[in-house]
Amino acid sequence: MDSKVRTDDKGHESGVSEVVSSILIVFLAILAAGVIGVYILESVDNGYLEEPVFAYFSTDIINGMGTGGKLNVPVIRMYQSHGGDLEQRYKEGTHSGIEGMKIVLYDPKGNGHEVVQSITMKGGTVDIGAIYYIFYYNLPEPEADYWITNDPKRIFGPTYRVHPFPIHGTWRMVITEEDRHNTILADIPLNL
Protein backbone atom coordinates (compact mmCIF):
# COMPACT_ATOMS: atom_id res chain seq x y z
CA MET A 1 0.00 0.00 0.00
CA ASP A 2 1.40 3.28 -1.10
CA SER A 3 0.72 6.26 1.07
CA LYS A 4 0.68 9.48 -0.75
CA VAL A 5 2.15 12.50 0.89
CA ARG A 6 1.27 15.86 -0.48
CA THR A 7 4.00 18.31 -1.17
CA ASP A 8 3.72 21.95 -1.93
CA ASP A 9 5.41 23.61 -4.90
CA LYS A 10 8.67 23.90 -2.95
CA GLY A 11 8.72 20.23 -2.07
CA HIS A 12 7.65 20.62 1.60
CA GLU A 13 5.38 17.93 2.94
CA SER A 14 1.98 19.05 4.23
CA GLY A 15 -0.93 17.21 5.75
CA VAL A 16 -2.73 16.79 9.06
CA SER A 17 -0.70 19.41 10.88
CA GLU A 18 -2.51 22.25 9.04
CA VAL A 19 -5.88 20.93 10.20
CA VAL A 20 -4.66 20.47 13.77
CA SER A 21 -3.15 23.96 13.85
CA SER A 22 -6.37 25.50 12.48
CA ILE A 23 -8.45 23.72 15.14
CA LEU A 24 -5.97 24.78 17.83
CA ILE A 25 -6.13 28.44 16.75
CA VAL A 26 -9.95 28.40 16.76
CA PHE A 27 -9.96 26.73 20.20
CA LEU A 28 -7.51 29.31 21.61
CA ALA A 29 -9.60 32.19 20.18
CA ILE A 30 -12.78 30.80 21.80
CA LEU A 31 -10.95 30.24 25.10
CA ALA A 32 -9.56 33.81 25.08
CA ALA A 33 -13.02 35.23 24.31
CA GLY A 34 -14.49 33.21 27.20
CA VAL A 35 -11.86 34.42 29.67
CA ILE A 36 -12.31 38.04 28.60
CA GLY A 37 -16.11 37.68 28.79
CA VAL A 38 -15.99 36.28 32.32
CA TYR A 39 -13.63 39.07 33.42
CA ILE A 40 -15.91 41.75 31.98
CA LEU A 41 -19.09 40.26 33.48
CA GLU A 42 -17.48 39.91 36.91
CA SER A 43 -16.31 43.53 36.90
CA VAL A 44 -19.75 44.99 36.07
CA ASP A 45 -21.70 46.34 39.05
CA ASN A 46 -24.96 44.42 39.09
CA GLY A 47 -26.45 46.60 41.84
CA TYR A 48 -28.75 48.29 39.35
CA LEU A 49 -30.39 44.90 38.75
CA GLU A 50 -31.66 44.73 42.34
CA GLU A 51 -35.38 45.03 42.89
CA PRO A 52 -36.27 48.61 43.85
CA VAL A 53 -37.46 49.33 47.37
CA PHE A 54 -40.82 50.93 47.79
CA ALA A 55 -41.50 52.68 51.06
CA TYR A 56 -44.18 55.08 52.16
CA PHE A 57 -43.47 57.54 54.96
CA SER A 58 -46.16 59.35 56.91
CA THR A 59 -45.27 62.72 58.38
CA ASP A 60 -46.93 65.46 60.34
CA ILE A 61 -45.87 68.51 62.29
CA ILE A 62 -46.35 68.42 66.05
CA ASN A 63 -45.23 70.71 68.87
CA GLY A 64 -42.23 69.91 71.03
CA MET A 65 -41.06 71.45 74.30
CA GLY A 66 -39.49 74.86 73.69
CA THR A 67 -37.06 76.76 75.88
CA GLY A 68 -39.95 78.48 77.68
CA GLY A 69 -41.25 75.12 78.91
CA LYS A 70 -44.25 75.13 76.55
CA LEU A 71 -45.17 72.72 73.77
CA ASN A 72 -44.95 75.34 71.02
CA VAL A 73 -41.95 74.43 68.82
CA PRO A 74 -42.52 72.61 65.49
CA VAL A 75 -41.11 69.09 65.27
CA ILE A 76 -41.45 66.63 62.38
CA ARG A 77 -42.98 63.31 63.38
CA MET A 78 -42.51 60.50 60.85
CA TYR A 79 -42.71 56.76 60.43
CA GLN A 80 -42.52 54.29 57.58
CA SER A 81 -46.11 53.13 57.26
CA HIS A 82 -45.82 50.76 54.28
CA GLY A 83 -43.28 49.17 52.02
CA GLY A 84 -40.27 46.94 52.03
CA ASP A 85 -37.74 46.51 54.79
CA LEU A 86 -34.92 49.00 54.61
CA GLU A 87 -31.41 48.18 55.79
CA GLN A 88 -30.94 50.91 58.39
CA ARG A 89 -28.43 50.65 61.19
CA TYR A 90 -26.93 53.06 63.65
CA LYS A 91 -24.77 52.96 66.72
CA GLU A 92 -26.53 53.95 69.92
CA GLY A 93 -25.20 56.78 72.05
CA THR A 94 -23.42 58.58 69.20
CA HIS A 95 -24.09 61.50 66.91
CA SER A 96 -23.89 59.75 63.57
CA GLY A 97 -25.89 59.15 60.46
CA ILE A 98 -28.03 56.09 59.87
CA GLU A 99 -26.16 53.59 57.71
CA GLY A 100 -28.12 52.66 54.62
CA MET A 101 -30.42 55.68 54.81
CA LYS A 102 -29.90 59.41 54.57
CA ILE A 103 -32.34 62.18 55.49
CA VAL A 104 -31.71 65.68 54.22
CA LEU A 105 -33.87 68.70 55.03
CA TYR A 106 -33.87 71.47 52.42
CA ASP A 107 -34.78 74.87 53.82
CA PRO A 108 -36.89 77.37 51.84
CA LYS A 109 -33.68 78.87 50.40
CA GLY A 110 -32.64 75.47 48.97
CA ASN A 111 -29.80 74.73 51.41
CA GLY A 112 -29.49 71.06 52.41
CA HIS A 113 -29.05 69.99 56.03
CA GLU A 114 -28.28 66.36 56.81
CA VAL A 115 -30.26 64.92 59.71
CA VAL A 116 -28.01 63.20 62.25
CA GLN A 117 -28.97 60.66 64.87
CA SER A 118 -29.38 62.06 68.36
CA ILE A 119 -27.61 60.32 71.24
CA THR A 120 -31.09 59.70 72.68
CA MET A 121 -32.03 57.34 69.83
CA LYS A 122 -32.40 53.74 71.01
CA GLY A 123 -32.69 50.32 69.43
CA GLY A 124 -29.90 50.06 66.85
CA THR A 125 -32.22 49.78 63.81
CA VAL A 126 -34.95 51.85 62.20
CA ASP A 127 -38.10 49.73 62.05
CA ILE A 128 -41.38 49.95 60.12
CA GLY A 129 -44.14 51.54 62.20
CA ALA A 130 -41.84 53.03 64.83
CA ILE A 131 -42.27 56.78 65.36
CA TYR A 132 -39.30 59.11 64.84
CA TYR A 133 -38.95 62.80 65.54
CA ILE A 134 -36.83 65.22 63.53
CA PHE A 135 -36.02 68.43 65.31
CA TYR A 136 -33.72 71.43 65.30
CA TYR A 137 -31.35 72.03 68.19
CA ASN A 138 -28.48 74.46 67.71
CA LEU A 139 -25.31 73.19 69.35
CA PRO A 140 -22.14 75.27 69.74
CA GLU A 141 -20.14 72.43 68.19
CA PRO A 142 -20.34 72.20 64.40
CA GLU A 143 -21.46 68.52 64.48
CA ALA A 144 -25.02 69.13 63.33
CA ASP A 145 -28.15 71.10 64.13
CA TYR A 146 -30.82 68.78 62.71
CA TRP A 147 -31.50 65.59 64.64
CA ILE A 148 -33.58 62.43 64.62
CA THR A 149 -34.65 60.45 67.68
CA ASN A 150 -37.20 57.83 68.64
CA ASP A 151 -37.24 58.91 72.29
CA PRO A 152 -40.34 61.05 73.00
CA LYS A 153 -38.70 62.41 76.18
CA ARG A 154 -36.20 64.22 73.94
CA ILE A 155 -39.09 66.10 72.31
CA PHE A 156 -41.61 66.56 75.11
CA GLY A 157 -39.32 67.08 78.09
CA PRO A 158 -39.16 67.48 80.99
CA THR A 159 -35.35 67.79 80.88
CA TYR A 160 -34.84 68.33 77.12
CA ARG A 161 -35.85 71.23 74.89
CA VAL A 162 -35.98 71.79 71.13
CA HIS A 163 -35.36 74.98 69.16
CA PRO A 164 -37.57 76.46 66.41
CA PHE A 165 -36.43 75.82 62.84
CA PRO A 166 -34.36 78.88 61.86
CA ILE A 167 -36.27 79.70 58.66
CA HIS A 168 -40.05 79.65 58.35
CA GLY A 169 -41.70 78.44 55.14
CA THR A 170 -41.92 75.29 53.06
CA TRP A 171 -39.09 72.85 53.65
CA ARG A 172 -38.47 69.56 51.86
CA MET A 173 -37.47 66.30 53.51
CA VAL A 174 -35.65 63.95 51.12
CA ILE A 175 -35.03 60.37 52.26
CA THR A 176 -32.63 58.23 50.23
CA GLU A 177 -31.53 54.64 50.58
CA GLU A 178 -27.78 54.62 50.15
CA ASP A 179 -27.41 50.84 49.84
CA ARG A 180 -29.17 50.96 46.47
CA HIS A 181 -27.44 53.79 44.64
CA ASN A 182 -29.06 56.63 46.58
CA THR A 183 -32.59 55.71 45.56
CA ILE A 184 -34.98 58.51 46.59
CA LEU A 185 -37.60 56.98 48.85
CA ALA A 186 -39.44 60.16 49.78
CA ASP A 187 -39.50 63.83 48.86
CA ILE A 188 -41.96 65.40 51.30
CA PRO A 189 -42.87 69.12 51.52
CA LEU A 190 -43.17 70.38 55.11
CA ASN A 191 -44.59 73.70 56.26
CA LEU A 192 -42.44 74.78 59.22
The closest of 75, 96, 81, 103 to 163, measured between CA atoms, is: 75
Q: What is the mean pLDDT of residues 169-190?
A: 84
pLDDT at res. 77: 95
pLDDT in tens, 103-149: 899 999 999 999 988 888 887 777 777 899 999 998 877 667 899 99
**Number of helices (H) and strands (E), helices first, in the chain?**
2, 11
Whether 3 has a pLDDT exceeding 70, the answer reads no
Per the CB < 8 A criterion, the answer to whether 148 and 114 are in contact is no
Q: What is the mean pLDDT of residues 89-111?
A: 81
pLDDT in tens, 8-47: 666 666 555 777 788 888 889 899 888 888 877 776 655 5
Cα distance between the two ends of the chain:
104
% pLDDT > 90, the chain: 28
ω before 52 within 30° of 0 (cis)? no
Per the prediction, the chain carries an average pLDDT of 80
pLDDT at res. 111: 94
Whether 5 has a pLDDT exceeding 60, the answer reads no
